Amino acid sequence: MQRVYCMVFVLIMCISFAFAADNLSKNWSSDDDTLPEVLPKKMRDKSDDEIQKAVFQAYENQLKVISEYNGHMLDPESPYGFFKDEMPISNARTSNPQSDLIFYNNAIRGFIGHNKNSIIIKWVPNQVVTELGWKEMSVRGRYTFINSTYFDQGKYHVQLQDLKYLASTTLSENTESYPSTVPKSSISYKSVKVSFTGGLPEVLKISDSSNVKHFIEDIVFQQVADRVVRDTHNNITVAIRQVIKPYIIFKNDTDPNFPGTNGKLPSGSVGYTISNTVISGFANAEHKLKKITTKMATNIVTADLRITIHSLDGKFDFKLEESKPTIGKATFAVSRIDVNVSFNMLKPVECKAEVVVNQPNVKYGTKLSADIEKTLTNAFIDNVKIQLNTNICKALGQMIKPGK
Ligand SMILES: *[C@@H]1O[C@H](CO)[C@@H](O)[C@H](O)[C@H]1NC(C)=O
Ligand SMILES: *[C@@H]1O[C@H](CO)[C@@H](O)[C@H](O)[C@H]1NC(C)=O
Ligand SMILES: *[C@@H]1O[C@H](CO)[C@@H](O)[C@H](O)[C@H]1NC(C)=O
Ligand SMILES: *[C@@H]1O[C@H](CO)[C@@H](O)[C@H](O)[C@H]1NC(C)=O
Ligand SMILES: *[C@@H]1O[C@H](CO)[C@@H](O)[C@H](O)[C@H]1NC(C)=O
Ligand SMILES: *[C@@H]1O[C@H](CO)[C@@H](O)[C@H](O)[C@H]1NC(C)=O
């Protein structure tokens, strides 16, 4: 009895932990107002031309991100990134016409104590906005002060209140053009207090000490900004992957469950089935936006896309329902699939896809007559066309957000 209670308790713990972990891990969001299909509704008072341009830009950005993850969405998740609480700051000699103040053995602390950490994806203008907030951070180290009449040494302590990091990086090319540095102005704060163990007076207003101001606002903030942009990269990648997921038609390079088909041989009496179709190569796809056509008066924002998939291959099983059924396997290669899609972003049921399968080459593992091979090959190709035709339009219909 006790064991049962115990197990139930563990189960509840697990469930609540799963929820907590989920809340913790989801602090990213998509600014849905900037989605290509939502923009027309947000821009109702604008001309067709302006809407067209904005939608084109947003959709092109989105397609770049789709291309980046197409066929790899189901690969292992990228890991989260984590802050180390403390970071050293380089030695700094600050000087003004009257004095020098040297800071050394410096370290800033408090990175993990953030009270805000959010990532917002904006499809236009192709941006990821990252914001972090800390109630307090402190910098400690040693100092030497020198002027014409006074020499002082000791330890210092800088307390920064309400520190904020706000920076944006590009949404597409998150891997290849992620910055290694962001402006020091990405860091802002409300107030500062600096105390010294020697004889130097406390600094409560940054404008009272140009040496302290330079150290904090130029040197410390630049190093903090660069550290934060580096440390948040992994989480930004996780966020982008999650946000783009619903928009990716070919999530995996391989489709192990491609639907089968069946029919009758031209002779009319013998049925055939094609099953267990596996197709690989969906990662070799290019997605391009050809044009956007806008006629808001009739509720039309049509997107024309071209999708090209190169170098696919795979296998399927076939069966001929003869008195003694023939069962066999086939392998195939397709040099290219061309797809043209045209759909109304405001009413995605208005969708048309044209699919051409180029240079298919099917090899049968069982000896068959040329006519039967031709029938099976055509049935297979037609099925690929039909499935892609309906699935692409269906997928587009499901991913489009109706918008408010
Ligand atoms: C965590 O998420 C669950 C379900 O989404 C929600 O009910 C709960 O209020 C959230 N808890 C916190 C602390 O945000
Ligand atoms: C990354 O996300 C995880 C999970 O939400 C969070 O615990 C961690 O603090 C984040 N790291 C950074 C550097 O923001
Ligand atoms: C999570 O992100 C939202 C905005 O996306 C922000 O308003 C909120 O403060 C963030 N929460 C935390 C705990 O960082
Ligand atoms: C040197 O610095 C000390 C401490 O800030 C100050 O009291 C003194 O007036 C300064 N001397 C000169 C010549 O500026
Ligand atoms: C994804 O592709 C791999 C091979 O690349 C395959 O083994 C796996 O079953 C596929 N997963 C899904 C869910 O389609
Ligand atoms: C797609 O459109 C282009 C030009 O608009 C045309 O040349 C091509 O044949 C079309 N392809 C398909 C698969 O319909």
Question: What is the tens place of the pLDDT at every residue in 333-356?
Answer: 999 999 999 999 999 899 999 999
C-alpha 117 to ligand 1 mean position (Å): 17
- List, in order, residues 6 or more apart from 310 with CB less than 8 Å away: 281, 284, 285, 335, 336
Is the CB of residue 80 below 6 angstroms from any atom belonging to ligand 4? no
Is the distance from the beta carbon of residue 149 to the nearest atom of ligand 4 less than 6 Å?
yes
Q: For residue 28, which atom of ligand 3 is closest to its CA?
A: 5
Distance separating alpha carbons of residues 175 and 402, to the nearest angstrom: 30
Mean pLDDT of 17-40: 73
> Does ligand 5 lie within 6 Å of residue 75's CB atom?
no
Give residue 369's pLDDT: 92
pLDDT, tens digit, for every residue of 84-143? 999 999 999 999 999 999 999 999 999 999 999 999 999 989 999 999 999 999 999 999
Per-residue pLDDT tens digits for 208-225: 999 999 999 999 999 999
Query: How much is the pLDDT for 21?
Result: 42
Pocket residue to mutate for ligand 3, from 23, 27, 111, 243, most atoms within 8 A of Cβ = 27
Report in angstroms the alpha-carbon separations of 296 from 47, 176, 289, 398: 9, 37, 20, 22
- Give residues (CB < 6 A) around ligand 2: 24-25, 27, 80-83, 117, 231-232, 235
**Pocket lining: 19 vs ligand 1, CB cutoff 6 Å:** yes
**pLDDT(23) > 80:** no
- Whole-number average pLDDT of the chain: 91
Which residue puts its alpha carbon closest to atom 7 of ligand 4?
150
Per-residue pLDDT at 6 exceeds 80: no
pLDDT score for 25: 58
| Tokens coding 212 | 């302290």
Site residues for ligand 3, CB cut-off 6 Å? 27, 29, 116-118, 120
Pick the ligand that lies closest to the CA of residue 16. Answer: 1
Q: Which residues contact 372 (CB under 8 A, 6 or more apart)?
A: 265, 320
Is the Cβ atom of 97 under 6 angstroms away from ligand 4? no
Residue 253 near ligand 5, beta carbon < 6 Å? yes
pLDDT digits (tens, 9 = 90+) for 141-192: 999 999 999 999 999 999 999 999 999 999 999 988 999 999 999 999 999 9
Looking at all shown ligands, the one closest to residue 121's CA atom is 3
pLDDT in tens, 317-337: 999 998 899 999 999 999 999
Q: 3-state SS of 197-259? A: CCCCCCECCHHHCHHHHHHHHHHHHHHHHHHHHHHCHHHHHHHHHHHHHHHCCCCECEEEEEC
State the pTM of this model: 0.85
Here the tokens at position 126 are 């192709």
Q: What is the pLDDT of residue 403?
A: 54
Residues 66 and 375 sit within 8 Å (Cβ to Cβ): no
376 class by beta-carbon count within 10 Å (0-12 exposed, 13-18 middle, 19+ buried): buried
311 and 281 in contact (C-beta within 8 Å)?
yes
Select from 254, 260, 401 the least CA-distant residue to 313: 254
Q: How far is the CA of 250 from the centre of ligand 5 (A)?
A: 11
